[in-house]
C-alpha cells in the first residue's frame, strides 16, 4: 500500500525531533498514521505520557501535491520517504523558470538564423528580421532570402515540434502509466511512415501537389491511430495494457509494410528518401506549413493544462480517479484522440524525431515536480529549446550536408536518459 506524502512528512519531522537533545522519544506517538500530538499529562495506570491528538479536518478533495506524488510514483519518480520533503524544496519555481526559458528560446531562435552551412553576420540577420517585422524587405536580398525564406520557418517549426513532442510524450506516459512511453508508442509514427512511403516510393497522391507528402503521412498516422483504437475497444476497452500491446504489434506491421513498399519501388533513391524522412528533419519547412502544426499544438496544450487535475488523478490510477468522481474512461479516450492528432500532425511535417517525447517530460518532472499544471508548460519550453539547438547542430555537424534530427537526438538523448535513470531519487515504477 502506498504511504501518503503527508504522513511521511509528519513522521519524518517527528523522528527528527525525537533525536534532538532534551526531547523524550515517548512524547511522539503515531496513532493512525495521520497525526502526531503533544503530551499534556500522564496516562494513569500505564506509566507513560498521554497524547492528545489534534483533530484533523477531513480532506474532501485531494490536494494537488498528493495527486502529483501518486502520479510520480506511477510514472517513475519515486523517492525514498526520508528525502521527499528535501527534494520538494529543491524544485524550481514555475513562473520564473518558464520566463527564463521563453527568453532563451527567443534569443536562440535569432542566433540560429545566423548559423548554418553559410554563416551570416548577426547584424545583417537582426536588420533583416527587424525589416520583415515592420513589413519591409530586408536590406540585403541574399541575406533576406536565406534568413526569412529558409531559416526562419525551420527555426519556428523546430520550436513548435519540440513543444508538441514534449506534450505528446507527457500525455502518452500518463495515458499508459509507463515512464518509458514516448509519442510513437501507439503506432502513429509507423502509420505515418506508410503514408509517406506510399508518396515517395509509389508516387501516390500526386493530385495533392507540394503538400502530398505531408497529407499522405497525416492520413497514415490517423489511420493507424483509428486502428489501434478499434482493436483496443474490440478487445474489451481502452486499458493501458491493451493500448501498449496493440500499438507495439501494429507498429511492427506498419514498419514491415513500409519496407515492402520501398522494396517494390521502381526508384532506386526511394529508400534513401524514406530513411531520411523517418529520421526526421525540419529542412523543408515553409510559412504555409507552420500554421496547422502551431494551431494543433496550442489547442492541445491549452486543453491539457486546463484539465491537469484530471490528468494527475489518471496518472495516480483508475481507482484514484474513480474515487474522485472523474470519468476516467472518457478522459483516457480524449487524451488518446488528442495525442494521436498531435503526433500525426507533427510527424507529417517533420518526420519521426526520437527521444524528445521520452526524455523531456522526465527532465521537467525533476525540475518542477510531477503535477501536470507545472510540468506541462516547462516540458513544452524545454522541448522547444532542445530541438531548436538540435536543428542548429544538424546543420553544421556535417556541413554542407545536413544530418537527420533523429540521429542527433539519439546521440544526445540516450546519455541524458541514462543519467536521469541513474539518479538516486529516481526509480521506475517496476523497481519501487
Per-position DSSP letters for 57-109, written without gaps between them: ---SS--HHHHHHHHHHHHTB---GGGHHHHHHTSPPHHHHHHHHHHHHHHHH
Instruction: Evaluate whether 138 touches 147 at the Cβ level (below 8 Å).
Output: yes
pLDDT classification of 179: cutoffs 50, 70, 90: confident
User: What pLDDT is stored for residue 76 in this prediction?
Assistant: 42
- What stretches of 177-211 show up as alpha helix (H) in DSSP? 188-202
User: What pLDDT is stored for residue 253 in this prediction?
Assistant: 92
pLDDT classification of 243: cutoffs 50, 70, 90: confident
Tell me: pLDDT of 27 over 80: no
User: What pLDDT is stored for residue 90 in this prediction?
Assistant: 55
User: What pLDDT is stored for residue 425 in this prediction?
Assistant: 54
DSSP at 149: I
Q: Is the CA virtual torsion 96, 98, 99, 101 positive or negative?
A: positive
User: What pLDDT is stored for residue 12 in this prediction?
Assistant: 45
Of 71-75, 178-182, 239-243, 301-305, highest mean pLDDT: 301-305
Tell me: pLDDT of 260 over 80: yes
397 within domain boundaries: yes
Round to whole Å and give the CA distance between 164 and 187.
Answer: 17
User: What pLDDT is stored for residue 133 in this prediction?
Assistant: 86
Instruction: Evaluate whether 309 touches 67 at the Cβ level (below 8 Å).
Output: yes
99 within domain boundaries: yes
Task: Name which of 188, 364, 400, 196 is nearest 278 in CA terms.
Answer: 196
User: What pLDDT is stored for residue 354 in this prediction?
Assistant: 87
Instruction: Evaluate whether 395 touches 282 at the Cβ level (below 8 Å).
Output: no
198 within domain boundaries: yes
User: What pLDDT is stored for residue 77 in this prediction?
Assistant: 41
83 within domain boundaries: no
Q: Average pLDDT in the 301-311 region?
A: 94
User: For the chain, what is the largest distance between any 2 Cα atoms, rounded to a whole number of angstroms?
Assistant: 96
User: What pLDDT is stored for residue 237 in this prediction?
Assistant: 78
384 within domain boundaries: yes
15 within domain boundaries: no
The residues, ordered by sequence, that sit 6+ positions from 39 with a Cβ below 8 Å of its Cβ are: 27, 49, 50, 51, 52
pLDDT classification of 65: cutoffs 50, 70, 90: very low
Count of the separate structural domains present in the chain:
1
pLDDT classification of 423: cutoffs 50, 70, 90: low
Q: How far apart are the first and last CA of the chain?
A: 12
Q: Average pLDDT in the 148-171 region?
A: 94
Q: What's the grid cell of residue 138?
A: 530586408
How high is the mean pLDDT of the chain? 78
Round to whole Å and give the CA distance between 216 and 403.
Answer: 23
pLDDT classification of 74: cutoffs 50, 70, 90: very low
User: What pLDDT is stored for residue 59 in this prediction?
Assistant: 40
Round to whole Å and give the CA distance between 82 and 11.
Answer: 9
- Would you call 216 helix, strand, or coil by DSSP? helix
User: What pLDDT is stored for residue 157 in this prediction?
Assistant: 95
Tell me: pLDDT of 56 over 70: no
User: What pLDDT is stored for residue 68 in this prediction?
Assistant: 44
Q: Percentage of residues in the chain with pLDDT exceeding 70?
A: 77
Q: Percentage of residues in the chain with pLDDT exceeding 90?
A: 30
Of 28-32, 96-100, 178-182, highest mean pLDDT: 96-100
Residues present in the chain in total: 432
At 347, which CATH number? 1.10.3470.10
The residues, ordered by sequence, that sit 6+ positions from 107 with a Cβ below 8 Å of its Cβ are: none
Q: Average pLDDT in the 212-220 region?
A: 87
19 within domain boundaries: no
Express each pLDDT in 399-420 by its tens digit.
788 889 999 998 888 888 888 7
Q: What's the grid cell of residue 7?
A: 504522513
Express each pLDDT in 370-391 by its tens digit.
899 999 999 999 999 999 999 9
pLDDT greater at residue 39 or residue 117 = 117
User: What pLDDT is stored for residue 32 in this prediction?
Assistant: 40
Q: For the whole prediction, is pTM greater than 0.85? A: no
User: What pLDDT is stored for residue 262 in this prediction?
Assistant: 86
Identify the domain containing residue 136 by its residue range: 93-425
User: What pLDDT is stored for residue 275 in this prediction?
Assistant: 83
User: What pLDDT is stored for residue 29 in this prediction?
Assistant: 38
Amino acid at each position: 500500500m502506498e504511504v501518503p506524502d503527508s504522513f511521511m512528512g509528519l513522521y519524518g519531522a517527528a523522528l527528527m525531533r525525537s533525536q534532538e537533545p532534551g526531547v523524550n522519544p515517548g512524547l511522539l506517538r503515531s496513532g493512525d498514521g495521520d497525526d502526531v500530538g503533544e503530551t499534556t499529562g500522564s496516562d494513569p495506570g500505564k506509566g507513560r505520557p498521554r497524547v492528545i491528538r489534534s483533530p484533523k479536518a477531513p480532506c474532501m478533495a485531494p490536494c494537488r501535491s498528493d495527486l502529483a506524488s501518486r502520479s510520480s510514483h506511477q510514472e517513475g519518480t519515486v523517492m525514498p520517504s526520508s528525502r521527499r520533503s528535501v527534494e520538494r524544496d529543491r524544485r524550481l519555481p514555475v513562473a520564473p523558470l518558464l520566463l527564463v526559458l521563453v527568453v532563451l528560446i527567443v534569443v536562440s531562435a535569432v542566433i540560429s538564423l545566423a548559423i548554418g552551412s553559410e554563416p551570416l553576420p548577426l547584424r545583417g540577420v537582426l536588420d533583416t528580421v527587424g525589416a520583415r517585422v515592420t513589413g519591409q524587405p530586408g536590406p540585403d536580398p541574399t541575406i533576406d532570402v536565406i534568413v526569412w525564406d529558409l531559416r526562419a520557418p525551420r527555426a519556428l517549426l523546430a520550436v513548435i515540434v519540440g513543444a508538441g513532442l514534449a506534450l505528446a510524450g507527457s500525455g502518452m506516459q500518463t495515458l499508459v502509466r509507463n515512464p518509458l512511453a514516448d509519442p510513437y508508442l501507439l503506432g502513429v509514427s509507423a502509420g505515418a511512415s506508410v503514408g509517406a512511403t506510399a508518396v515517395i516510393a509509389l508516387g501516390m497522391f500526386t493530385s495533392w501537389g507540394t503538400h502530398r507528402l505531408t497529407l499522405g503521412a497525416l492520413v497514415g498516422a490517423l489511420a493507424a491511430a483509428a486502428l489501434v483504437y478499434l482493436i483496443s475497444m474490440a478487445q474489451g476497452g481502452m486499458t493501458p495494457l491493451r493500448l501498449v500491446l496493440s500499438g507495439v504489434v501494429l507498429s511492427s506491421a506498419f514498419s514491415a509494410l513500409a519496407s515492402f513498399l520501398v522494396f517494390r519501388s521502381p526508384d532506386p533513391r526511394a529508400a534513401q528518401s524514406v530513411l531520411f524522412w523517418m529520421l526526421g528533419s525540419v529542412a523543408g519547412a515553409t510559412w504555409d506549413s507552420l500554421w496547422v502544426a502551431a494551431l494543433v499544438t496550442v489547442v492541445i496544450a491549452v486543453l491539457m493544462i486546463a484539465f491537469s487535475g484530471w490528468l494527475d488523478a489518471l496518472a495516480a490510477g483508475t481507482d484514484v480517479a474513480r474515487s474522485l468522481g472523474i470519468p476516467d474512461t472518457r478522459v483516457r479516450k480524449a487524451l488518446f484522440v488528442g495525442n494521436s492528432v498531435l503526433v500525426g500532425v507533427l510527424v507529417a511535417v517533420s518526420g519521426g524525431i526520437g527521444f524528445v517525447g521520452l526524455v523531456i517530460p522526465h527532465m521537467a518532472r525533476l525540475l518542477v515536480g510531477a503535477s501536470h499544471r507545472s510540468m506541462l508548460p516547462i516540458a513544452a519550453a524545454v522541448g522547444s529549446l532542445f530541438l531548436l539547438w538540435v536543428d542548429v547542430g544538424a546543420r553544421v555537424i556535417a556541413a554542407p550536408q545536413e544530418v537527420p534530427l533523429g540521429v542527433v537526438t539519439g546521440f544526445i538523448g540516450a546519455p541524458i536518459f541514462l543519467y536521469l535513470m541513474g539518479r538516486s531519487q529516481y526509480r521506475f515504477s517496476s523497481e519501487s
